[in-house]
Amino acid sequence: MKTYITIIFTSEGAKPSEVKSRLMGLGFKAMRGSYDFFYEWEKEPDIETLLDFADRIHTALEGLNVMFSLETV
């Protein structure tokens, strides 16, 4: 199972390299295509685990003036 993230940048926000650094610190890997990064789960997460992970992402990106969307499949 993987969680994919798409980032929306603004010209007033952080540099993409800073966003990349923070996401990779959470275990994301960069990719090309429809999504910007992905996280590969070792075992299938439950809803609480996914929400906790989303909270950690939110905290990591806080103050960078970017928006993000997640999809776990």
Confidence bin at 36 (pLDDT 50/70/90): very high
* pLDDT of 48: 98
Predicted TM-score of the model (pTM): 0.93
Nearest to 7 by CA among 30, 40, 41: 30
Q: Is 26 left (phi over 0), alpha (psi -120 to 50) or beta?
A: alpha
Q: How far, in Å, are 31, 37, 41 from residue 72 at the CA level? A: 15, 12, 10
